[in-house]
Structure 1
Amino acid sequence: MEFGSSNFPIFTKNDDLDDVRRSVKFHPTIWGEYFLAYASTEISSVEKDELQKQKKMMRKVLNQTPDDSSHKLELIDAIQRLGVSYHFEEEIGKSLKCIYDIYSECSNKDNNVRSVALRFRLLRQQGYAISPDVFSKFTDKEGNFNEMMFENVEDLLDLYEAAHFGVDGDEILDKALEFSSSKLQFLLPIMTTSLSKQVKEALKIPILKSLTRLGAWKFIAAYQQHKSHNEILLNFAKLDFNIVQKMHQKELSLITRWWKDLNFTNKLSFARDRVAECYFWILGVYFEPQYQFERRILTKVLALISIMDDIYDIYGTLEDLQLFTRIVQRWDVNDLDQLPPYMGICYKAFLDVYLEMEAEVENGGESYLVQYTKEEMKKLTRAFLQEAEWVYSKYMPTMEEYTEVALVTTGHAMMATLSLIGVRNTVTKKDLEWITSKPLIVQASAIVCRFMDDIVGFGIEKKYTAVHCYMNQNGASKMDTFAQLREQVKKAWKDMNQECLEPTPVSMSILKPVVDLARVIHLLYADNDDYTNSQTNTRDYISCVLVEPLTT
């Protein structure tokens, strides 16, 4: 089929390859060697001792606050949003279990919008499949929310945040989200500056879709302005943020050194140089101190997949791509000399990273995990090649054909499988079989990635997108197509919510990284491709999380 968009060049064998390659130009790295300066960063014993001292004080506060009080709900919420809940997982888990056990009793007699919404959200976040019918008390006879029962903006904001945790069939939460978001938008002009900033941020990135570290950085600023904030918790959160930031800075320094030694910036100048952005991406999945090895491996693999994506999309000839794909299927270092130089150095880097991973994982006796990730990488290259062949042959796939392949090329199945190195001591072959069998949550996470990416990339990317395929197949306008794809993204979030409610198909430690990958996408692809074009928003995100310490 023909496709006649001037912004969408179709490559053919008769095109001048150098012209095609020059048609895409990415901006150079923003960070360069900046993070090399953190190579000697260390966390002092004084900082470590002070953190433990404050942690002990905070645990005491948490344990002494009654589980059946609104103060406990607010305290748990603040701990989670400040990014320090990983210190108190056992205590929070026990408290939420107690709150769940008395949920019906408390919710039936509680007419406070904020506490009802907060209790609901915290329990759904924890995986409890509680009913949203509790919100019916705030509606009229027609089932519409009664504005008179919402006394302030905070009530609306808590309802708004809770409503995002809906699943298919939670019609009252759909109404709650529509009602609260429209009212918050309407009230924005008359809010105080600090409150309007908080509301604008929530409307753009609700708690469900927030990254822990970036969300903590933002919430710390808002929390310290609350008159009722807990000073012990605030100080602890700031200190923890700064200590963990130092750890991340040193890690990124080592990864930057690895990247610099590969010299991809010069050897593969056609590709996106985004290693710092990849590290930030992985912080959205594993930021906690104990996951140093996981961050290193996941960042390296993600950065190399990004290079591979550019090889398949904009630089490789069809013959080269077919050869590369065949060699990846064999996964043999002896095949390196068969590849053209630009592919060989990428492939060699992949093999080296996998050897690094094998050396670590085999020490724990879980070497089969590596084999599963290799199989996912093979699937990924086959899907990349299929997309390239469509472009070279000028074949416009159907929406169904496109979706089947394009969900694989998001890399979400690959990264979801690889993320199991974070639970490698407990993961089973059954878990690996499950996560590589296209389960609903992985497919939903990939849908968020694919369709959000395709919407912001329409008219820019050099390959077919869901927008092109849907418009072609259905005769739809661009705006109608965008609306349809956004509906699919909304449904995908509901599917992920459902998969995280008990009884879950696998442990939450396996499910959480899959959802976290979608959260990163929501941040980076909400309005633009902030990964490819990382000079503005993403630069600011990285500065907040990885450069500027908090003032204590």
Structure 2
Amino acid sequence: MALSTGSTFLCMNRPSFFLPVFHPSAKTFLSATKVVRPLNCIPSSVIYEPEVSRRRANYKPNIWDHDLLQSLRSDYQVSHSSIKTSLSLPKINRPLNCLPSSVIYEPEVSRRRANYKPNIWDHDLIQSLRSDYQDEAYAKRAEKLKEDVKHCMLQEAANPLAQLELIDPIQRLGMGHIFDKEIKGALNIIWEGHNKNDNKGGLGIIMISMLLLSSLGSSENMGIITFTCTYLKAIKESVDIMLANKLGHALELPLHWRTQRLEALWYLNIYENEENMNPTLLELAKLDFNMVQATHQRDLRKASSWWSSLGLGGKLSFSRDRITECFFLALGVMFEPQFGYPRVELAKVCQLITTIDDIYDVFGSLDELECFTDAVDRWDIKSIDRLPEYMKICFLAIYNTTNQMGYEILKDQGINIIPYLQKAVEKVRGDAPSSIDCYMKEANFVSEMDARNHIKDLIFDSWKKLNEEARTASPYPPHFINCALNLARVVHCIYQHGDGHTVQDRSTKDRLTSLLAQPIPLVVE
């Protein structure tokens, strides 16, 4: 899919978050099936090595395995505080002589400050997140419920309308990936039956309506969409509370623009009060949400441990410490539990880009930024000698993290992705003026309201292009296309009502808490 079609929208507020980096590096994401031959995306310059006769030394396996080493503990540990008390050293008020004589003392530079608020999600809080839903008993119960739902779908095979009424909540509750095979099979059967019996009953009308609603990208349907929205707004006040809630939700933002995980959480409360609610499906939806949340907590702990050990948050106090918000972006791109590795890696990339953004946007002087840009372009560890201390730390963090990602993918997939990651880092050049400010100046200083309406039109046009590209034949895997769409969705979610990445307001905090910290209560019968 041509990702550039969505670039207008994705770069609307924070251009640094357009990250078309993870197609080659999505370790688990792109390895659902074993690849016996080289992928088409591998450059033609790949050299296939001939088989070589190798000697074998037949070394014995290591008797000190990792688990044994990790189990070594002693009761004779002494706390660091007692050591400091007994061996306290005199306070030194001058530089130590062990510093090399070549140390260059940098002249003081006038710096800007963005005054970002401290991160409310500190490392200890994140590490304390635990869930009981990793227990095997819950997994067994979930498997039983899945079989019951599949049985319901088979029972309704003779009633296509009933099948559609079951498939729709399955997808909206965020469980489409669980029943993907069954849903595709059922829809194919319904569609074939519709073609054979087009003139019988109202099912054909329902199917056509679904197709029209999903084909937002066609300009011929704009009149239908406008008419539908106008009609729904008119009747919103005259319907019951439940339906009015649904209408307001749909009119605020179309379903296919919404982040899937947040939509599933919202729809759970709606579906629980539906007259035709399926109790088995509802229980499975709640249980699955909590089990997936437990997986997300584990992934977030990994991302936070990486960020804490990296030390950039403490060294670069001017920069935003937003690893939890970065993880939310990664979660929005791929929430499915099997994509834990690319989810954590994408969160790392997002946090590093946030740091680079602040260096360019807030702290760095022009001369420093030119040196930093040159160091990234060269991608040579020796080029950091000319950088100030804070830039050396940042460059080494980027360099080491990128190479570590490349090593993991090369080890598991046999593909060298470091050149792709390097090019992606080179494209990051800090933030740009807001699109609204740019348009106000370009259009002879039109009003802010006119500029906002113009940007909304551009967003709408970008979504049409994304939808058109998603429906056309593409050389990319379907999961990758879905991730590209999800990236647009989660960025829209983050910046819909302001800068949800930088400003940790009540709505951002509540959103992250509900997704990552609060399980849904299960009704025990």
Q: Judge same fold: TM > 0.5, yes or no.
A: yes
For 1:520, the equivalent position in structure 2 comes to 490
Alignment-derived partner of residue 143 in structure 2: 52
Change (3 A) 1:196 1:31: farther
Cα deviation, 1:398-431, whole Å, max 9, x if unaligned, reads: xxxxxxxxxxx7xxxxxxxxxxxxxxxxxxxxxx
2:440 corresponding residue in structure 1: 471
- Matching of residue 242 in structure 1 with residue 287 in structure 2: no
Give the match for residue 217 of structure 2: 167
Quote the Cα distance in structure 2 between the aligned partners of 1:40 and 1:83.
20
1:354-388 Cα distance to aligned partner (Å, 9 max, x none): 2331232112334233322221221234xx4xxxx
Question: Could you report, residue by residue, the CA deviation over 1:465-512 in whole angstroms, capped at 9, with x for unpaired residues?
Answer: 333332323213322222222111111100010011142353322211
| Equivalent in the alignment of 1:77 | 168
Give ranges in structure 1 of 5+ residues lacking alignment: 1-15, 121-131, 133-161, 385-408, 410-462
| Correspondence for 1:296 | 344
For 1:32, the aligned partner's letter is D
In 1: Cα distance, 2:386 partner to 2:151 partner = 63
| Contact 2:410–2:417 (CA under 8 A) maintained in structure 1 | no
Distance 2:150 2:447 in 1: 56
Asked if the contact 2:160/2:190 (under 8 Å) is kept, the reply is: no
CA distance in 1, matches of 2:260, 2:399: 32
Give yes or no for contact 2:133–2:290 (8 Å, CA) kept in 1. no
The counterpart of 2:181, out of the listed 51, 67, 90, is 90
1:526 and 1:371 mapped to 2: Cα distance? 34
Quickly say closer, same or farther: Cα 1:273–1:227, change in 2 above 3 A.
same
Q: 1:119 to 1:21 in 2, by over 3 A?
A: same
Shift in CA distance, 507/65, structure 1 to aligned 2, threshold 3 Å: same
Gap change, CA 1:186 and 1:546, over 3 Å in 2: same
> Within 2, Cα distance between the matches of 1:538 and 1:67?
45
Contact 1:67 1:95 in 2 (8 A): no
Q: What is residue 494 of structure 1 aligned with on the other side?
A: 464
Q: Distance in 2 between matches of 1:103 and 1:207?
A: 25
| Greater relative contact order, per chain length (Cα 8 Å cut-off, separation 6+) | 2
CA deviations 1:196-242 (Å, max 9, x no partner) are: 33322222232101112111111111001101011111111111110
Aligned partners of 1:285 and 1:517 also within 8 Å: yes
- Quote the residue 2:118 is aligned against: 28
Give per-residue Cα distances to partners, 1:59-90, cap 9 Å, x unaligned.
22223322761111121111111111111111
Corresponding residue number in structure 1 for 2:353: 305
Q: State whether residues 129 and 517 of structure 2, in contact with CA within 8 Å, keep that contact through their aligned partners in structure 1.
A: no
d(CA) in 1 for partners of 2:318, 2:198: 58
Contact 1:41-1:250 within 8 A present in 2 as well: no
Establish whether residue 261 from structure 1 lines up as the match of residue 351 from structure 2.
Answer: no
Q: How far apart, CA to CA, are the structure 2 residues paired with 1:359 and 1:538? A: 35
| Aligned 8 A contact 2:322 2:351 in 1 | yes
| Pairwise CA RMSD | 2.4
Q: 2:261 aligns with which of 213, 226, 230?
A: 213
The letter of the residue matching 2:115 is: K
Q: 2:415 maps to which residue? A: 367
Equivalence map 1:149-548=2 (5 Å):
162=213, 165-169=215-219, 171=220, 173-381=221-429, 384=430, 464-475=433-444, 476-548=446-518
| Structure 2 residue identity aligned to 1:481 | A
Q: Distance in 1 between matches of 2:264 and 2:325?
A: 19
Would the alpha carbon gap of residues 50 and 505 (structure 1) be closer, same or farther in structure 2, given more than 3 Å must change?
same
Work out whether residues 406 and 416 of structure 2, in 8 Å CA contact, stay in contact via their aligned partners in 1. no
User: Could you tell me how far 1:42 is from its partner in structure 2?
Assistant: 7.0
Separation in structure 1 between the aligned mates of residue 417 and residue 255 of structure 2, nearest angstrom: 32
Q: Does the aligned pair in 1 maintain the 2:494–2:501 contact within 8 Å?
A: yes
Percent identity of equivalent pairs: 31
- For the Cα contact (< 8 Å) 1:188–1:196, is it kept in 2? yes
Whichever residue aligns with residue 87 of structure 1, its letter is I
1:338–1:354 CA distance, 2 compared to 1 (3 A): same
Helix, strand or coil for the counterpart of 2:505? coil
Query: 1 CA distance for matches of 2:152 and 2:393?
Result: 54
Structure with greater helix percent: 1
- Measured after TM superposition, the shift of residue 112 of structure 1 is 7.1
Map 1:116-155 to 2 at 5 A.
Answer: 116=207, 119-120=210-211, 132=212
Change in Cα spacing, 1:106 to 1:224, as seen in structure 2 (3 Å) is farther
- After TM superposition, give the deviation of residue 551 of structure 1 in Å: 1.2
Q: Is the contact between residue 73 and residue 115 of structure 1 (CA under 8 Å) also seen in structure 2?
A: no
Q: Which amino acid aligns with 1:295?
A: R
Conservation of the 8 A alpha-carbon contact between 2:330 and 2:346: yes
Q: Which residue of 2 aligns with 1:431?
A: none
Change (3 A) 1:372 1:78: same
1:318 maps to amino acid:
L
Aligned length: 413
Cα gap change, 1:112 to 1:100, in 2 (>3 Å): closer
Give the Cα separation in 1 of the matches to 2:209 and 2:331: 26
CA contact (8 A) 2:332 2:490 kept: yes
Q: CA deviation at 1:541?
A: 1.1
Between 349-358 and 316-325, the greater mean CA deviation after superposition:
349-358
Quickly say closer, same or farther: Cα 1:536–1:54, change in 2 above 3 A.
Answer: same
Residue type at the aligned position of 2:520: L
CA deviation after TM superposition for structure 1 residue 100, in Å: 3.2
Counterpart-to-counterpart distance in 2, 1:546 and 1:361: 28
Quick one: structure 1 residues 109 and 175, their matched pair in 2 at CA, closer, same or farther if it must change by over 3 Å?
Answer: farther
Change in CA separation of 1:477 and 1:42 when aligned onto 2, cut-off 3 Å? closer
The answer to whether the 8 A contact 2:403-2:418 is kept is: no
- CA deviation map 1:316-359 (0-9, x unaligned): 11111111111111222333443222222222222222233123
